[in-house]
Structure 1
Amino acid sequence: MSKNNRELDIIVYGATGYTGRLVCEYLNKQYGVNGDVKWAMAGRSQDKIDSVREEMGIPADVPTVVADSKDLASIKTMVEKTKVVLTTVGPYQLYGSDVVAACAKAGTDYVDLCGEPAWMHEMIAKHQADAEASGARIVFSCGFDSVPFDLGAYFLQETAKEKTGSTMPRIKGRVRAMKGTFSGGTLASFKATMAAAAKQPEMMKVLGNPFALTPGFTGAAQPPGTAPSYDEDLGSWSAPFVMATINTKNIHRSNFLLGHTYGENFVYDEMMLTGPGVKGEEMAKAVAADKSMANDPRQPGEGPSKEERETGHYDVLFAGSNDKGDNIQVSVQGDKDPGYGSTSKMIAESAVCLVKNPNAASGGIWTPASAMGSLLIDRLQKNAGLTFKVEG
């Protein structure tokens, strides 16, 4: 069936999980049951879906779909009902491969929260051609990894074109502030990736390669970002940022998919600012030595209280420069904790953006910036509590 004639716009697969519930809560509040977005809840158990729907006060006329990653027929049926599958069912390397394959075959658009670069590398190799042929727009990493960073770099380059007539060959992404926790799902993905890498040493090459998601292209040498350093330009110490491994790869893929509009020798790194002086240096060293993520006991489905989500926030600076002495700074801020409150709004708006803009990109495997760019920035600022600001 043509994508345009399908009964649903968006199916939230994983609707009974922690993040899936937040996505459903947001879609219900923002678009309602009688709004112009037709959405449905999907999960493994009808009883569980019904129970979650009642618990969250979601109207009974929101459709439901039973689908299980272990039942390929149910996955095929699900993806053929809708224009977009929004999946929060991770780790994706364990539960996502058949969903991507089915969407790529059926011409169904797809968004996820993936921060698993080795799996993404594999999916691009396996399904890019099918997605191009069917018209499916597959967009990975539509949560905190990597929307604020991918779109932040894109926003800086668009600003640079307006102000200087060209893009910036060097961008520093620097987290200035962040309050919130990583999700249990993010932790599970991290642990699954490390476990897989221990069994498959070739995966370490993918994880360590900033150009792992740009098939056939390797650009300029990139800063490793793995040790504390003092940044003269910004007057602050910087510490390694745990999500740089995935975000940098997505930003280089965006540049690749946008025809290297950032330049073939584009350099990007991402760290966390810890402040000036001895105190800043000590904090940077403490962050670099922190290994708590590997030992965090939380599981998928576990997360913070509503108050913790509501009081979270983040602020990321992007500083661009060129060899002519031009400097441009922009920032991206979010009004909820990054791993849950903001992520659930970002992925929901990514899915709606694809529904509302059927011609935003052709079939293929994309990043948020390369598929949706300014269209998604506008939606996030209007609806999802993000602010994109030119600072200098």
Structure 2
Amino acid sequence: MGREFDVIVFGATGYTGRLVAEYLAQIGAPRWAMAGRSAAKLEQVRAEIGAPADTPLIVADSQSPSDLRTLCGRTEVVLSTVGPYQLYGTELIAACAETGTGYVDLCGEPGWMRQMIDAHEARARETGARIVFSCGFDSIPFDLGVWTLQEAARARFGRPAPRVKGRVRRMKGTFSGGTAASLKATLAAAARQPALVPVLASPFGLTPGFAGPHQPTGMVPEYDPDIGAWVAPFVMATINTKNVHRTNFLAGQPYGPDFVYDEMQVTGLGDMGKAAAEMLAKFNPFSGDSGPKPGEGPTREERESGHYDILFLGLMPDGGRVECVVTGDRDPGYGSTSKMIAQAALCLAQDVPSEGKGGIWTPGALMAKPLRTRLEGQAGLSFRCG
């Protein structure tokens, strides 16, 4: 490799960035560095997480194009946890696109993502920059879950499932303070820029020039006869469904041009399941100020006791079915997400050839198979089809 590092963790002094750096230190990842605005804070975090004393530290400001170009020139991949990305990530995307540098983040901000696609995808293709958004709980388990289900559908039926349902059956843990801040920033951006509203509203907001068939909104509680339970709106569906459709779009529509997909949260059976679904539909986890702020999060015990279980159900026109289940062994917003993005960055740096792969990608479209192998082997995820 021609550059000094495989991965630089940008934002290593923040809550999630610190977890990523700690994980890389624990697994003994080679050729990585920590970056942030303050040398003193970087030194403090390096010591507190038990990283080797010779782990390189790089001072860079997210608003300084010269800092960011220098940063990019030293690494194969920048792993950014500096969000909301629409506030702090634009200059870094531009620097990666110009310097042909790989990039992964935790972005769940579709309006900004579409702006970056429109502004920088052509240049990224020219320079070979592989830019991959949404490498955390939004949207890796869902993106790779659908990819795994379609792999099983083709093996069993000889063709993909035209209708797939994502159903979150269990989830213990919380969303990150960064996720809440990103949602608020997205709503503020839409108020300032009405042109973003169609992007945010459409399941095909990240597939420029392509719009598939009508998709379920997932916004109303309902009884799902295919799983025999009540389901309610799932708060991350807005970004996950866009990324799943973008994967299909970028990969040449292996799920088919008429692919239909939605995500909802399972609440249970009978009247209790119905009541829970109706209550959940009215609940906004991001309202008020009671949730974690950016830079805050749960204790280690809370992170390690968290988990999630997601069912993917593929329905064939002749009545055939295929089911896949994705599970994670930590809370989704922090413990599992920090491992997922770290493995995504290592996969991009070490497993995915860069030649001819420049552009703005999803995890599923660029590195589904090697990333799934890494996640199962080193990040506590499982992908099972039956």
TM-score (norm 2): 0.98
- Between the aligned residues of both structures, percent identity stands at 58
1:199 corresponds to: 192
Q: Is 1:129 the counterpart of 2:126 in the alignment?
A: no
Q: Greater shift after overlay, 191-200 or 356-365?
A: 356-365
Match of 1:186 in 2: 179
The residue type equivalent to 1:83 in the other structure is: E
- Give 1:133-144 correspondences, 5 Å limit: 133-144=126-137
Say whether 1:275 aligns with 2:268: yes
What is the number of equivalent residue pairs in this alignment? 384
Offset of residue 146 of structure 1? 0.1
12, 22, 27: which one pairs with 1:25? 22
Letter of the 1:200 counterpart: Q
| 1:1-392 equivalence runs, <5 A | 4-32=1-29, 37-297=30-290, 298-359=292-353, 362-391=357-386
Q: 2-side partners of 1:258 and 1:168: how far apart?
A: 16
Deviation, structure 1 residue 70: 1.9
TM-score, normalised with respect to structure 1: 0.96
2:27 is paired with a residue whose SS is helix
1:174–1:273 Cα contact (<8 Å) kept: yes
1:280 to partner: Cα distance: 0.3
Q: Contact (CA 8 Å) 2:145, 2:326: kept in 1 or not? A: yes
The DSSP-based 3-state class of the residue aligned with 2:226 is coil
1:193 and 1:151 map into 2 onto residues whose CA distance is 25
Q: How far apart in 1 are the matches of 2:106 and 2:348? A: 15
In structure 1, what is the Cα distance between the partners aligned to 2:287 and 2:115?
24
Deviations 1:102-147 (A, max 9, x none): 0011010000000000000000000111110011110000000000
Counterpart Cα distance in 1 of 2:160 and 2:285: 38
Judge conservation of contact 1:191–1:294 (CA < 8 Å) in 2. Answer: no
Unaligned runs of 5+ in 1: none
Shift of 1:204: 1.8
Aligned-partner SS, 2:280: helix
Q: Which runs of 5+ in 2 are unaligned?
A: none
Mapped to 2, the partners of 1:301 and 1:272 lie a distance apart of 27
- The Cα of 1:55 is off from its aligned counterpart by 1.5
- What is the one-letter code of the residue matched to 1:60? A
289-298 vs 217-226, greater mean Cα deviation = 289-298
Structure 1 position 31, deviation (Å): 2.2
Cα distance in 1, alignment partners of residues 319 and 272 from structure 2: 30
What letter corresponds to residue 320 of structure 2 in structure 1? D
Kept after mapping to 1: 8 A contact 2:25/2:50:
no
Letter in 2 for 1:328: V
- After superposition, the C-alpha distances for 1:283-326 in whole angstroms (9 at most, x for unaligned) are 00010000241224432100000000000000000000111211
Amino acid at match of 2:379: A
1:12-56 CA distances to partner (integer Å, 9 max, x unpaired)? 000000000100011011124xxxx30000000101100111111
Q: Which amino acid aligns with 1:291?
A: N
* Per-residue deviation, residues 153-183 of structure 1 (Å, max 9, x unmatched): 0000011111111111000000000000111
Q: Using the alignment, how far apart are the partners of 1:141 and 1:296 within structure 2? A: 25
Q: Is the CA contact 1:187–1:296 (under 8 Å) kept in the aligned structure 2?
A: no
